[in-house]
Amino acid sequence: MKTRVLATTMAVFLTAASLCMTAPTFIYAEESTEEIAEMDHQEEEPEELTETEASQASDETAQTDTTEESVETETLEETAESVPLAREAPGATFTVTFDSKGGSDVADQTVGEGETAAKPEDPVYDGYHFLGWFVEPTLENIVNKETLEYNTFDFSAPVTGDVTLTALWTAVLRVDTTGAGEGYIETAKKGEEPEFDEEYKYTSAQETAVKDLYDVITVAAKAAENSVFVRWIDKDTGKTYSTNERIDVQVKKDLNLSAEFDSALVVFDSNGGSPVENQYVIPGTTVKKPEDPVNGNLHFIGWFQNPSLENLYDPETYEFNTFDFSTPISEITTLTALWGAVLTTEVSGDPGCGQINVTAPGKELEFSEKEPMHSSYTNAILGIYDTFKVGAKASDGYRFVRWEDKDTQKTYVTDAVIEVEVTDNLNLVAVFEKVVKEAAPTAAPTNAPTATPAPTQAATTTTAPKTGDDTPVMTWFGILLMAALGLGAAGKRKFGNGKEI
């Protein structure tokens, strides 16, 4: 028993000594001097142990060795933790900032020099599609002009400095046509005018808008012939988006628009007058009355729908059946302009010289002796009622000469009865002249001497010599003979009052 106690005490001592190896002081076992001396003596003269005691001592020694190794291991680990390990000096780092531009937040990254940034999960933005991350994006640099691909940031490239990556968002604008009418659509960048191609007429189109860079798109609608643009419809809501044919659309989300066309068209046929623009109206609405066209000197009567001689007037009021612009338009409507001109006829000079009359073609002209017509004023409607029979009749002692254009004072025609198609204002004058009757010859008295007419120069055909003027010699001879006879008689009377010879 004593030997087992000593062995156990030695094991404890060795364990304590092992635990104190790192301590700067020594630990002594609290044993008396006598016990130590006894121990030394026992070491010098070991007592023989039985086999069983030896086996137990061996097991205790092994257990003590194991405890010492465990204590040493734990002590070394604690020492290693308290002493910092040597490291290399840290390199430069850079910040990668993610600007989601209204989308969900994306955390910034700190990246070592030469390292790459980790591509984050795509952010989300209600109504938009994520296009990618870009460095200082502009409308000019977001697309590679050679490959036509987007110039998104390359996350496999080393980061060489602080960088801000900006998210770009897209939305799609789709346009098409609808309705009973026919029409076309075109798109363009804001500030540019959409151009309609007569060869390629598009009824649908799609544009991708990029938020903050290219998000305002111009769309335009054009109605085909005999059709009318009605409105732009938001296909998702079914509501009117705009009633203007050309609009600038800010695309804030995917948008589907339809240009509605219908066939309610009002065509204005000016019938030779100045052009009047056609109007397209929404079925069931009214058309705006345009300004009156002009056509030279002609008078504008009004707009008529399917005009004819039979429906030109209201039979009760005798007023023109012009189109009522308060009438709703429900189908293609053509309005025709009617023009008026005036045909005037009159007798020239003395009213008693003759009379005139005007009637419709195919009718007989009637002249009245009691109430002769000396002037007339006839309204013509071009294309409807514009041809007339015009006649003139001379009074007794007069005869008809011609019809004269009063404005030009030129002969219009020499026939007394004519058919005139009026294409402009016309003023005709019937010209008459008095008939001069020849006087009957008067018989001479039977006893009256026959007067001998004096010869006239015109009747003389003689070629006798001249006397100095153009009077013939025989004429001068006759004159001299008569003068001699006269002088003789006169001398006789004169002298008879005196001395008779």
What mean pLDDT value characterizes the chain?
A: 78
Residue 254 has pLDDT above 90, yes or no: yes
> What domains are there in the chain, each with its CATH number?
2-82 (no CATH), 91-263 (2.60.40.4270), 265-437 (no CATH)
Q: pLDDT tens-digit profile of 388-434?
A: 999 999 999 999 999 999 999 999 999 999 999 999 999 999 999 99
Please provide the DSSP assignment of 366-379 as one string.
Answer: ---SSS---EEEEE
Q: Do 470 and 462 form a contact (C-beta atoms < 8 A)? A: no
CB atoms within 10 A of CB 463: 7
Q: pLDDT tens-digit profile of 317-342?
A: 989 999 999 999 888 899 999 999 99
Q: pLDDT tens-digit profile of 70-106?
A: 445 454 445 444 444 434 446 799 999 999 999 999 9
Residues 6+ apart with CB under 8 A from 343: 358, 376, 377, 378, 379, 380, 388, 390, 420, 422, 425, 426, 428
Q: What letter does residue 103 receive in the DSSP assignment?
A: S
Q: pLDDT tens-digit profile of 224-247?
A: 877 888 899 999 999 999 999 999
More confident residue, 351 or 149: 149
Q: What is the Cα–Cα distance from 2 to 372, expressed in whole angstroms?
A: 183
Q: Do 357 and 367 form a contact (C-beta atoms < 8 A)? A: yes
CB atoms within 10 A of CB 327: 11
Considering the entire predicted model, what is its pTM?
A: 0.44
CA 286, 287, 289, 292: dihedral to nearest 10 degrees?
A: -150
E runs forming strands in 321-425: 333-347, 354-359, 375-381, 387-394, 398-405, 410-413, 417-421
Q: Do 311 and 381 form a contact (C-beta atoms < 8 A)? A: no
Residue 169 has pLDDT above 50, yes or no: yes
Give the long-range contacts of residues 470-479, CB within 8 A, separation 24 or more.
Answer: none
Stretch 291-312: mean pLDDT: 95
Residue 205 has pLDDT above 60, yes or no: yes
pLDDT band at 264 (very low <50, low <70, confident <90, very high): confident
pLDDT band at 220 (very low <50, low <70, confident <90, very high): very high
Two structure tokens written together for 464: 């006798």
Two structure tokens written together for 44: 């010098």
